[in-house]
Structure 1
Amino acid sequence: MRGIKGKAAVVTGGAGGIGTAICRRFGEEGARVAVFDINQDAAEAVAAAIRADGGDARAFAVDLTSQESVVAAVAAAEEALGPIGILVNNAGWDRAGNFLDTDKALWDRIVAVNLYGPLYMHHAVLKGMAERGEGRVVNIASDAARVGSSGEAVYAYCKGGLVAFSKTMAREMAKKRINVNVVCPGPTDTALFRDFCGDGEYGEKLRAGLARSIPFGRLGQPDDLPGIVAFLASDDASFITGQVISVSGGLTMAG
């Protein structure tokens, strides 16, 4: 796609299922990929695979719950790869449970990763983008933000906040020619999703039931996401900002 080649692209949660797929796509498009993840070894494995395929990628360990860690990782990435032109806030974490059965310790952890993590990343990266007068931000939220999801109350709270924050950033950054958009995956077969569903017969029944509820008749796969992310990061989407797009096989058809 136009306008991605040669740009430094940061992907948080880059060693996870969706994150790995997004990193590889950016590598294929010729971006200089910064794989951000709390797991340094896993991030390096993703970066090494991109390099083995002829791409340019580096791994950076970052704790998204720490603003100091985020600032340091962003500085290291820009020193290694140049000014960040693309930011994809993909990292997320959740633990299923009925809201009334959960406690503040769990809420704090979910909020720290899913809400404060993207806040820290925006604050660290957007300043440079604003000074340069260009940039693309793609935030990975969830259809839980649009329609709710039983057992994911605090996660949905965070992702709903990310959607509202993204639209506000899109307005504030428009004069600087920085595009900010949101992609909302539906149920996607990742490690996080499998952890949510649980193991054994119950987990299999839950996954099968969700697949039946999706018009396309299957769960999403990590490789279903990179296309729209790359498009929104490209010059082909230069006049698109503040939008929320579901990738759910038709499960969510919100206007």
Structure 2
Amino acid sequence: MELTGIESTVALVTGAAQGIGAAVAGVLAGAGAHVAAVDRNAEALATVVTKLEAEGVTARGYGVDVCDSAAVDALVRRVEDELGPIGILVNAAGVLHTARVVELSDRQWSETFSVNATGVFHLSRAVARRMIPRRRGAIVTVASNAAGVPRTEMAAYAASKAASAHFTRCLGLELADYGIRCNVVSPGSTDTPMLRAMLGEDGDPRQVIEGSPAAYKVGIPLRKVAQPRDVAEAVAYLVSDQAGHVTMHDLYVDGGAALHV
């Protein structure tokens, strides 16, 4: 199925310097979108943008911290001045701090929510204000299957992703009158720097696939870890015309790991 409605549309993608965000930027650019790639890691972002430009697609990098409300508002103004009206927003920026709750620091909790939840609010608010008068647009937030399944040592991450997912559904309800669709993609274990950092240098992806009864975590029924592009393709579908009657939906892309109903 060929996806339509993406070509020539300005797509702002956060967390685009690596992992799922970089894959989303690549997939949307490959579908003809004019991608505004956003990340606070300007050096890594430049590498991603250079690669995309070498592939002959349209992408421009913007080094911005999504936690900074004023900077986000300025970013959205600049993107629309330079590339045109934003028709697609993908909130893919995220951080992960793992620790048992009794050992979790204030800084770890605060940073997790600042990026994973407040950052989504900042971008969504700024972009929605501009989409409303145009009465069109699509917003997707990349959350996590951990938002719906308790995980040991992941309380801050899971709670922040649950917040961002439910925020996005509430936003979708408010924006439905304007024809603006808001959806969520919830990945499971995905082969990204975040997962590799969590597993450690000697970590084996097979332990993720098999699960951990001691941690009350089931494995992955499809017997494989997702690739970033698997998640990016789901995002592309949700922002396309083919999902034109889909809003406030949470699409799990986790190989069945959450046993999601």
**1:1-255 paired onto structure 2 within 5 Å:** 1-200=3-202, 203-204=203-204, 207-212=205-210, 213-255=219-261
Q: Compute the TM-score of the two structures, normalised by the length of structure 2.
A: 0.93
Give SS of 1:187's match.
coil
Instruction: Provide the C-alpha distance between the structure 2 equivalents of 1:194 and 1:50, rounded to a whole number of angstroms.
Output: 24
Instruction: Provide the C-alpha distance between the structure 2 equivalents of 1:7 and 1:148, rounded to a whole number of angstroms.
Output: 37
Q: Return the offset for 1:199.
A: 2.5
Q: Return the offset for 1:164.
A: 1.2
User: Once superposed, which parts of structure 1, at least 4 consecutive aligned residues long, lie more than 4 Å away?
Assistant: none
Give SS of 2:56's match.
coil
- What amino acid is the match of 2:254? S
Q: Return the offset for 1:51.
A: 1.7
Q: Return the offset for 1:67.
A: 0.6
CA contact (8 A) 1:35 1:47 kept: yes
CA contact (8 A) 2:97 2:156 kept: no
1:134-157 CA-to-partner distances (Å, cap 9, x unmatched) read 000010000000112211101111
Q: Return the offset for 1:52.
A: 1.4
CA contact (8 A) 1:137 1:181 kept: yes
Over the matched positions of the two proteins, sequence identity in percent amounts to 35
Instruction: Provide the C-alpha distance between the structure 1 equivalents of 2:173 and 2:138, rounded to a whole number of angstroms.
Output: 13
- What amino acid is the match of 1:122? S
Q: Return the offset for 1:228.
A: 0.9
- What amino acid is the match of 1:237? A
Instruction: Provide the C-alpha distance between the structure 1 equivalents of 2:33 and 2:253, rounded to a whole number of angstroms.
Output: 23
1:215-249 CA-to-partner distances (Å, cap 9, x unmatched) read 11111111111111101011111110000011011
- What amino acid is the match of 1:80? E
Residue 216 of structure 2 is matched in structure 1 by: none
Instruction: Provide the C-alpha distance between the structure 1 equivalents of 2:152 and 2:74, rounded to a whole number of angstroms.
Output: 36
Give SS of 1:147's match.
coil
Give SS of 1:50's match.
helix
CA contact (8 A) 1:98 1:150 kept: yes
CA contact (8 A) 1:187 1:193 kept: yes
Give SS of 2:112's match.
helix
Report how many residues are paired: 251
CA contact (8 A) 1:61 1:73 kept: no
Structure 1: 5+ residue stretches without partners: none
1:59-98 CA-to-partner distances (Å, cap 9, x unmatched) read 0001111111111211221111101000000000011111
- What amino acid is the match of 1:232? L
Give SS of 2:196's match.
helix
CA contact (8 A) 1:143 1:185 kept: yes
Q: Return the offset for 1:121.
A: 0.4
Instruction: Provide the C-alpha distance between the structure 1 equivalents of 2:257 and 2:110, rounded to a whole number of angstroms.
Output: 30
- What amino acid is the match of 1:136? A
Q: Return the offset for 1:197.
A: 2.2
Structure 2: 5+ residue stretches without partners: 211-218
CA contact (8 A) 2:27 2:229 kept: no
Q: Return the offset for 1:15.
A: 1.0
